[in-house]
Amino acid sequence: MKRALAAFWYIWDVMDRLNLSLIAAGVGFFAMLSLFPALAAIVLLWSWFADPGQINSLIDLADDVVPPEVSDVIANQVTGIINAGSSGGLGTATLVSLVVALWSARAGVSALIRGLNAAYDIGHRQNIWRRYMADIGVTLTLCGLTLVAIASVVIAPLVIAILPLGPWATAAAEITRWIVAIGVIMVTLGIVYRFGPNRRGRRPKWITPGAIVATVLWMVMSVAFGVYLHNFAHYNEVYGSLGAAVALLMWFYLSAYVVLLGGCLNAAIEAGGAARLQHDLKAQEARDGRVQAG
C-alpha cells in the first residue's frame, strides 16, 4: 500500500512539475480542431468500399463509452458529412481531399505526441520530416483502427444472427459491442504509447500498465462526466449555442489528461526498472571486485 501511495504521489509530482495539465488543455484544443477533419477522412475512406450510412455504427459504439452530449456532436457531424455525400458534395472528393483531411487531423495527434514526449521528459524529433512521418503514421493507423471497429460493429450482429443463441442473442450483441469498444481503446493507447514518443531502442509492449490504467480511468471519467453534464452542469444556459462545443472541449481535455497520466505511469515504471537495473549492475561490479581482490 505504501509503495502504491508513493508511486501515486511521484506521478502526481511529475505531472505537476511538467505542467501536464496545461499540455492536456493544448492537446484537447487541437483534438477538438482535428475531430471534424478526422471524421471526414473516415467517411471518405469508408465510402470507397461500403455504404457511408454504416458509419452510424461508429455512433452506436460511441454511445457506449462517451457522454451523450459528446456523441450527439459526433452524430450530427457524421450525419452532415453523409448528407453532403448523398447530395453530391462528396462525389467530387478525390485523393487530394483525403490528404487535406488527414493533414488537418494530424494536428491533434501531433499535440498528443508532444505531450507524451513531455511525460517521458524527452525532446521532440529534431528532424521535421521524421516528426511529420510519425504524426501522419499514427493518424493513418488510428483511422484504420476506426474503420476496423466500424466493420466489427456492422458484421458482429450478422454473425450473431446466424448463431443459434436464441434468447441470448441480445446479450451477446451488447457484450460484443463492449468488447469492441474496450478493445479499440486498448489498441489505440497501445499504438500511441508505442510509436508516439520520440524514443530510440526498445519500445514498450503493446499492453502496458499505463494503457490498462488509462483505459479504466477513461471509461470511469466518461461515465462520471456524462452524469455531471446531465445533473449538474448547465453549459447551454451559460454558453448558449456553444454549450455542446464547450462540453466536447472539456471531455477532450479530460481524455488527454488521462492519456498523459498513463504515459507518466509507463515512464515512471521504466525509470524505476532502469534504476533497479543500474543498482544491480553496480552491486554485481562490487561483488566481482571483491572476488578479484580476494
Q: How distant, in Å, are the alpha carbons of 52, 60, 231 from that of 47?
A: 5, 18, 38
The residue ranges of every structural domain in the chain are 2-293
pLDDT of residue 274: 46
Alpha helices, DSSP H, located in 18-168: 20-47, 56-65, 68-86, 95-119, 128-162
Q: Assess whether pLDDT exceeds 80 at residue 212.
A: yes
Provide the grid cell at 35: 475531430
- pLDDT of the residue at 28: 86
User: What does the pLDDT look like over 121-157, one tens digit per residue?
Assistant: 777 777 778 888 888 888 888 877 777 777 776 666 6
C-alpha–C-alpha distance, residues 134 and 145, integer Å: 16
- Cell numbers linked to 32: 477538438
pLDDT of residue 165: 65
**CA pair distance 186, 205, nearest whole angstrom:** 12
- For the entire predicted model, the pTM comes to 0.78
First to last CA, the chain: 42
pLDDT at residue 87, rounded to an integer: 47
**What is the average pLDDT across 26-31?**
86
The answer to whether residues 42 and 146 touch, using CB atoms and an 8 Å cutoff, is yes
Beta-carbon contacts of 137 under 8 Å, excluding residues fewer than 6 positions away, are 195
What average pLDDT does this structure show over 186-196? 86
Q: Is the pLDDT of residue 84 over 60?
A: yes
Lowest-pLDDT choice from 4-8, 10-14, 259-263: 4-8
pLDDT digits (tens, 9 = 90+) for 225-250: 888 887 766 777 777 777 788 888 88
Q: How confident is the model at residue 89 (pLDDT cuts 50, 70, 90)?
A: very low
119, 20 contact by CB (below 8 A): yes
